[in-house]
Amino acid sequence: MSLQPLLEAGKFVVTAEVGPLKGTDTTEINEIAELLRGRVDAANVTDQQSSVMRLGSLATCHLLKEKGLDPVFQLTCRDRNRLALQSDLLSAHVLGIENVLAITGDLPALGDHPEAKPVYDLDSVQLLWVIKRLNEGYDMNGNELQGKPNFFPGAVVNPGADTEAAFELQLIKMEKKIEAGARFFQTQAVYDIDTFARFMKRVEGFNIPVLAGIIPLKSAGMARYMNKKVAGVFVPDELINKMAEAEDKAKTGIEIAANIIKELRDICHGVHIMAIGWEKKVPEVLDAAGL
C-alpha cells in the first residue's frame, strides 16, 4: 500500500530518508532500497540537501519506485523557477511518483556552491497551491493540462522553533500550507518528547497527520553540533551524556532513537527517519522500536 491510504487508514506510518550521493554511482542507493523495501511505508529522497550538489531527487525517486518502494519526491524552491517546478512535477507523475514534499530549501550560501544564484521564485506555500492546481488539471496560470497528475502533497514544519515569534510563525505557516493543499507533515528531528507533545497539542485541531523526524545520534559531538547549528533541534543533556559514556556508540544511538519512536507512538501519526549516512541501519532502529 502506498503512503496516502496508509495515513488515511490511521496506521502508524514509517518513512525513511534517502540522500543521493554526488555522482552517478547508484550502487548504494540500490543496496539501501533492498534493505528498506518491506520495512518502511515510503522513502523520501532529498533534493540536494544542505545545498550540496548531488544526483537529483526525481531520478532517484524513479530508481526507488523500480525497486518496489513508494517514493516521496522532495522538491525545493531553491533551484527551480515556476516553469521548472511545474515541469518537474509533471515529469514525476509520468514516472509514477505519487508523493511530493514541498520545501523552501536551504540557502545556497550554506552549501558547496555558495556562489549560486538562489531562485525562490515560489515559496513552499505557493508550491503546494501549484500542486493543487496541477491535480485539478490546470497549470498555475489557468491553462488546461492534457492529462493531469494525482499527487499526495506533503510539507514540513519545525516543531522546536525556539522563540515565541518563530514558533507562532511555524504554526501560522502550517495552517497556510494545509489550506494550500498539504495532506501530511514531516518534522525536524525530535529528541525532547515534552516539547514535541506540546506542539502536537497545539496542532490537534488541524486534523492532519504529522510524522515526527528521527535522526539517530552517532556521537555526543554530533548532538552538540546540532544543538548549536541546526535550527529547531534540541538534544537534551541526558541523551548527550548517554552518548558520551557509551562504549558502542552505534548501538546506543540506535537504542535512543528506538526509545523516542516508542514514546512517539501515542503522540503522532508516524515517524520519518533521517539516518544521514546510516540508511543501512534503519532496519535495526525499527527492530529495536518493535516496528
Residue ranges binding other proteins (CB under 8 A) = 82, 104, 106-107, 109-110, 118, 120-126, 129-130, 140, 156-158, 161-163, 165-166, 168-170, 172-173, 175-176, 179-180, 188, 231-232
Query: How far is the C-alpha of 14 from the C-alpha of 272, rounded, in Å?
Result: 6
**Considering the complex, what minimum distance in angstroms separates the CB of residue 232 from other proteins?**
6
Q: Which is nearer to other proteins, 26 or 195 (CB)?
A: 195
**Considering the complex, what minimum distance in angstroms separates the CB of residue 208 from other proteins?**
16
Residue with cell 529522497: 45
H/E segment holding residue 63: helix 57-66
Q: Which is nearer to other proteins, 1 or 172 (CB)?
A: 172
**Considering the complex, what minimum distance in angstroms separates the CB of residue 60 from other proteins?**
24
**Considering the complex, what minimum distance in angstroms separates the CB of residue 211 from other proteins?**
16
Q: Which is nearer to other proteins, 15 or 170 (CB)?
A: 170
Q: Which amino acid, residue 214?
A: I
H/E segment holding residue 210: strand 210-214
Q: Which is nearer to other proteins, 57 or 170 (CB)?
A: 170
Go through 90-121 and write b for each residue having 16 or more CB atoms within 10 A of its CB, e for each that does not: eebbebebbbbbbbbbbebeebeeeeeeebee
Work out whether strand 152-157 and strand 71-76 pair parallel, antiparallel, or are unpaired.
unpaired
